[in-house]
Amino acid sequence: MSTNPLPPASVVQVLNTPVHVVDMDETMAHVRRFMQEPRLHQIATTNPEFVMRAQTDEPFRQVLEQADLCIADGIGLVLATRWLGKGVPERVPGSELVYHLAQLAAEEKWRLFLLGAAPGVAEEAAALFQAQFPSLLIAGTYAGSPDPAENEEIVARINRSEADLLFVAYGAPRQDKWIAGNRDTLKSVRVAIGVGGSLDFVTGRSKRAPMWIRKIGLEWLHRLFLEPWRWRRMLALPRFAVKVLFSPRRRSG
Ligand code: UDP
């Protein structure tokens, strides 16, 4: 590994919401760096729904502003960064990042904790990761909930597990607010990431689009087709596109 410290990733502001200009390999390099610094680092898997939510939810926008890395999880976001002048090189889907992180955790002996999703999903995802990466150390799994009444107990559970890496699957914005709210109470965690529905993909409860659909940037349409109840949430996409097209194009970061 290089001895030169990795400089922080550059940022492009999309509708006043930060997105880091990184590809998958750079994301992993940042994770390695984060693991060496004795504090919790937050990663957000930003998509257009996040950005639209941040327009009206200032506490959420601040969580994203303070996150250590906001990756572009969504073709709409990649296109928006290109339109705004500083393009993110590629989409970094959370559903793929979880496999890269699990593999690196296995190699580096980082202890992984899976929090959230429906009861049983985190356990099943942990078993599948472990089957794929046999040296992976699972610190713990727990469905729990983002309800503040459960916070203390969940934090104590994760602290007892001495986890280094934490996946939180409560869906945005709750998972990201949960992580930000526990930056100081989670003692051993160095990297925490809101993974949305990724554990549902890992366990096969949700199906990802075939590769050709992903390649032409239509994974969102495939998801809408399989999970039509998402239509209301997905209205954020055209609203996002219009807002970006009419926003001033200037560089930042
Ligand atoms: N979820 C949860 N507790 C909650 C709300 C959601 O564990 O109180 C889980 C849900 O089971 C799913 C994940 O959060 O596994 C993400 O949900 P969603 O599909 O909304 O996420 P997206 O991938 O769209 O960000």
- State the pLDDT confidence band at 253, using cuts at 50, 70 and 90: very low
Co-location of 88 and 105 in the same domain:
yes
Co-location of 79 and 162 in the same domain:
yes
Q: Is 97 in the pocket of ligand 1 (CB under 6 A)?
A: no
Co-location of 111 and 161 in the same domain:
yes
DSSP state of 149: H
Q: Which of 93, 114, 127, 122 is nearest to 213 (CA)?
A: 93
Give the pTM.
0.94
The pLDDT > 70 percentage for the chain reads 97
Co-location of 141 and 30 in the same domain:
yes
Co-location of 226 and 117 in the same domain:
no
Co-location of 235 and 125 in the same domain:
no
Q: In this model, does residue 3 exceed pLDDT 80?
A: no
| The pLDDT value given to residue 230 | 87
Q: What is the CATH number of the domain that holds 22?
A: 3.40.50
What kind and span of H or E run contains 159?
Answer: helix 148-161
The Cα–Cα gap between 47 and 217 comes to 13
Question: Domain for residue 188, yes or no?
Answer: yes
Question: Domain for residue 226, yes or no?
Answer: yes
Query: In the structure encoding, which two tokens stand for residue 206, read together?
Result: 């949700």
Pocket residue to mutate for ligand 1, from 96, 170, 220, most atoms within 8 A of Cβ: 170
Q: Which of 63, 158, 54, 67 is nearest to 113 (CA)?
A: 158
Q: In this model, does residue 233 exceed pLDDT 80?
A: yes
Q: State the DSSP string of 38-99.
A: SS-EEEEEE-HHHHHHHHH-HHHHHHHHH-SEEEE-SHHHHHHHHHTTS--SS---HHHHHH
Of all protein residues, the one whose alpha carbon is nearest to atom 1 of ligand 1 is 170
* DSSP-derived 3-state class of residue 154: helix
Co-location of 184 and 233 in the same domain:
no
| The pLDDT value given to residue 28 | 98
Instruction: Express each pLDDT in 51-85 by its tens digit.
Output: 999 999 999 999 999 999 999 998 999 999 999 98
Of all protein residues, the one whose alpha carbon is nearest to atom 7 of ligand 1 is 117
Host domain of residue 136: 17-203
Number of domains within the chain: 2
| The pLDDT value given to residue 10 | 94
Query: How many other C-beta atoms lie within 10 A of the C-beta of residue 196?
Result: 27
